Amino acid sequence: MRANTLRNFQVIRSGIVFELQEEPEGGYTIAVPSLPGCISYGKTFEEAMEMIKDAMKGWLEVAREQGIPIPDQFEQIESSSI
């Protein structure tokens, strides 16, 4: 079993912390800790980083609609710059 060799790591881009977890079946789960519940998956690191952009966009749209506070760093960020 590869459980002992799976990696968890953080990536910081444009001031945003992303947490990645290597999955036993392959690929990566990616989350944005400052946006609770904002999570995605990609078969590769690059795909995971692309997929989380859509998840973040959706999270921010719902937060604005429902009046949920948005961390300041996300008010200025364009998903294309991540």
Q: In DSSP terms, which residues pair with 28 in a beta bridge?
A: 22, 42
Q: What is the DSSP letter of 29?
A: E
Which domains does the chain possess? 2-77 (3.30.160.250)
| pLDDT digit string, tens, across residues 3-45 | 456 789 899 888 899 999 999 999 999 999 999 999 999 999 9
pTM score:
0.81
Sequence-distant (≥ 6) Cβ neighbours of residue 47 within 8 angstroms: 27
